[in-house]
Amino acid sequence: GSWRAGFAGRLLPGFEDYCATPYAFGKYDQVALPSFAAGAMENAGLVTFRQVYLLMDPATVSFRQKKAIAKVIAHEMAHMWFGDLVTMAWWDDIWLNESFAEWIAHKAVEALEPDFRIWEDFSQGRAAALAPDALESTHAIYTPVETPAQATELFDLITYQKGSSVMRMLEGFLGADAFRAGLRTYMHELRFANAEGADLWRHLEAASKHPVSEIMESWILQGGHPVITAQLQGGALRLAQKRYLSKPHAHVGDQAWRVPIVMRYRDDEGVHEARHLLRSPQEDVPLHARGKIQWVTANADSLGFYRQDPDDEMLAGLIQHVGELSAAEQTGLLDDQWGLARNASRP
């Protein structure tokens, strides 16, 4: 329909601007195929789709399906830059190809169709990935690949949903401007060439002045994710981390992450954000508040791929002011409380 053609037409210059790199392939065709095994495939200049992800009748299409079509079109078009123009050196970095396209597809749909409130849907994907990643049998995002079968195995919730959640966590911590600046220099250096994850970390590090390689290696080279316990101690927030497993009373060991944490809190002067890179099992983070802290969340907008376990006082403040939390923070808080109740990790 005309909406779809208009959407792709608005999308392409948006990607050119974001990447500061013109579209490289001369033409852009979208073709719906019957009995197409993949959802869609990012062939340069001629993207193929399963019919349900491209064809719709605007008069009868559901809101959910309209959003799904927009997201798939945006995901495949993102690959024209990230995947086709700059191509991963080997299948072991396929997670970065897919995670990036999945993350930026949401960003693009949000920019063009804000009424879709697509980041609220993203919360469901994040929750869906937290579940298998809380099992002892989970796998790391980065996995060595030697055979075609091993490559095929990687097209799963960890590669797409956990990977894109980690990309979003990184952008939220570095800031959107620094992230985009690093991506642009990455594109300029590596266009029509092969890249590894380390190349992207190098560019993001130069743009942001944050230790991106150190952060990302801790998230992609080991399976699982932490639960962050948070406790207000006067004007500081005491943060501690340990691995979260859904099995009750599981032995978690001393596994640790470099956790990029964005906190949001309200004091007498309003709502503020603070950032902290948690490197140790436990650290105190001063919040520089004026007057009483009414509420604080250690996972602003649920950007972080971790469970948050606030102490009773913090939890009471969050519940009392729940209307001031974003939709993603509200669903994240509920999902975390349910997860903590199920695994019975608290005394």
**In the sheet that 29-33 helps form, which strands lie side by side, from edge to edge?**
29-33, 46-50, 40-41
Residues pairing with 296 in the sheet: 265
Answer whether 260's CB lies under 8 Å from 277's CB: yes
Confidence of residue 347 (pLDDT cuts 50, 70, 90): very low
* Beta-sheet pairing, 40-41 with 270-278: unpaired
Given a cut of 80, is residue 322 above it in pLDDT? Answer: yes
Given a cut of 60, is residue 244 above it in pLDDT? Answer: yes
Go through 173-189 and write b for each residue having 16 or more CB atoms within 10 A of its CB, e for each that does not: bbeeebbbbbbbebbee
What percent of the chain shows pLDDT beyond 70?
97
Q: Dump pLDDT digits (tens) for 154-186.
A: 778 888 899 999 999 999 999 999 999 999 999
What pLDDT is attached to residue 342?
A: 83
Give the relative orientation of helices 118-133 and 63-81 as an angle to the nearest 10 degrees: 80
Q: What are phi and psi of 37, to 5 degrees?
A: -65, -50
What pLDDT is attached to residue 3?
A: 59
What pLDDT is attached to residue 129?
A: 93
Instruction: Return d(Cα 302, Cα 279) in angstroms, integer.
Output: 19
Given a cut of 80, is residue 28 above it in pLDDT? Answer: yes
Instruction: Return d(Cα 31, Cα 41) in angstroms, integer.
Output: 10
What pLDDT is attached to residue 89?
A: 94
Instruction: Return d(Cα 277, Cα 318) in angstroms, integer.
Output: 23
Q: Which of 287, 286, 296 is nearest to 321 (CA)?
A: 296
Answer whether 142's CB lies under 8 Å from 197's CB: yes
Catalytic residue positions, numbered: 76
What pLDDT is attached to residue 135?
A: 93
What pLDDT is attached to residue 251?
A: 84
Question: Tokens at residue 195, please?
Answer: 């890249």
Confidence of residue 143 (pLDDT cuts 50, 70, 90): confident
| 247-253 mean pLDDT | 85
What percent of the chain shows pLDDT beyond 90?
80
Q: Dump pLDDT digits (tens) for 194-231.
A: 999 999 999 999 999 999 999 999 999 999 999 999 99
Answer whether 203's CB lies under 8 Å from 189's CB: yes
CA 4 → CA 11, 30, 81, 150, distances in Å? Answer: 10, 10, 21, 35
